[in-house]
Amino acid sequence: MAEDLELTMIAGGPCGGTGDDDPQCSNGDCPTVYTTNKPGTLAVQGYAVERATPDGEAVVTIPEDVLKEAARALGW
């Protein structure tokens, strides 16, 4: 995203850094869902997927339980 967004973590985030639950997540910074200061917009940090997208966009994967946690945090 080109504009500066303020991010607030609502699901996922720092992990134990062992990679036990997710072998790709051993650096302590795991897939995360954030609210932003742009109304109606969420931000998602995840593993990049090789797929052509328009400039400024990306496709990422996150564990299903992180998305469920985000939905609960938003009261959905």
**pLDDT, position 11:** 92
Alpha helix ranges (H) inside the chain = 64-73
Residue 21 pLDDT more than 90? no
Give the C-alpha distances (Å, rounded to integers) separating 59 from 13, 14, 39, 53, 55: 18, 21, 21, 8, 12
Place of tokens 């910074």: 29
Q: How far apart are CA 76 and CA 74, in angstroms?
A: 6
**pLDDT, position 22:** 58
Question: Residue 16's pLDDT band (boundaries 50, 70, 90)?
Answer: low
Beta bridge partners of 47: 61
What is the residue extent of each domain of the chain?
Answer: 7-73
